Amino acid sequence: MTTASHDQTRAESTPNLAEGQTAYLSRNEVASLCMKAARGAGMSWGMAEEAGFASAWLLQHGIDGPRHLKAHLDAAQGRPWRDLCPKVTPGQWQAPVGRALCPVVLGVTLCDYAGLPEGLVAGPSIRIGRVDHPVLLIPFLATLGAILDLVFDLAWPGGAALIDGGDDTLAQAVVALNGQQVPLILTARAGTPHQPTHGPAPQIAAETIAALGALAMRTTVPASDASRAGAGSTTPDND
């Protein structure tokens, strides 16, 4: 039996939209959908949670995080870990040969290594190999900045962005980084980031939701008589 991901009776919260429509999604819905989609695209559960976090963070700041994640997962799904993760050395984080880094993996690893010799500290720059959809890097840098009192300069051939928690700089960074696949120079500076205001929630396109939903469906198990039989009450519901 084939099952559309838009079944009226499913225990799932993302909306049922016709092509061309858009919808507001809550952060909880975005985090949940994007986590499942990332898992369906091959990320580990823990990394998939990070993808959910990043997408919901962007949404909270008025940016269509699901669209960016979908675009990245379209390109990266099924790639083995060694083709997604950086080779970490002090001052130099390399991309896999012939590949662009996964921005979620990169963002998470930058957070993991913060303060360690190979990682971000105020002052020295890190040269980072090509990064896919670097907009998804912003939530990790913004979180790190708020925890460690750092602001970040990102530079790449033909462009630059500042991640300092400000609304205007965030909007500019998103525009500048949108659709790029570039090597980055990342520099942390000591400084207190601004408290960003939460932007109006963007409308999410049906196509984005459907694509993420299709990836999320890969985490599910087709029905069998045994699974249907075990799910509910063994006595009738009417009383």
Q: Using CB under 8 A as the criterion, which residues of the chain lie in contact with other proteins when the complex forms? A: 1, 3, 7-13, 15-16, 23-29, 44-47, 49-50, 53, 81, 85-86, 88, 105, 108-109, 111-116, 119, 143, 147, 201, 217, 219-224, 226-228, 230-235, 237-239
Which residues, including other chains, have CB under 8 Å from residue 27's CB and lie 6 or more apart?
56, 59, 60
In angstroms, give the least distance from the CB of 190 to other proteins: 19
In angstroms, give the least distance from the CB of 84 to other proteins: 9
Contact yes or no for 155/193 (Cβ under 8 A): no
In angstroms, give the least distance from the CB of 101 to other proteins: 12
In angstroms, give the least distance from the CB of 175 to other proteins: 26
Helix (H), strand (E) at residue 152: strand 150-156
Tokens found for residue 111: 């957070």
Contact yes or no for 14/29 (Cβ under 8 A): yes
In angstroms, give the least distance from the CB of 210 to other proteins: 15
Closer to other proteins at the Cβ: 37 or 108? 108
Phi and psi (nearest 5°) for 205? -75, 145
CA count, 13 A, side-chain hemisphere, 213? 20
User: Which of the 8 DSSP states describes residue 92?
Assistant: E
Closer to other proteins at the Cβ: 44 or 192? 44
The three-state secondary structure class of 166 is: coil
Closer to other proteins at the Cβ: 157 or 232? 232
What phi-psi label fits residue 78: left (phi over 0), alpha (psi between -120 and 50 degrees) or beta?
left
In angstroms, give the least distance from the CB of 176 to other proteins: 26
Closer to other proteins at the Cβ: 7 or 74? 7
In angstroms, give the least distance from the CB of 47 to other proteins: 6
Contact yes or no for 59/30 (Cβ under 8 A): yes
Closer to other proteins at the Cβ: 147 or 190? 147
Closer to other proteins at the Cβ: 15 or 159? 15
Which residues, including other chains, have CB under 8 Å from residue 116's CB and lie 6 or more apart?
none
Contact yes or no for 136/76 (Cβ under 8 A): no
Closer to other proteins at the Cβ: 19 or 239? 239
Tokens found for residue 175: 């525009």
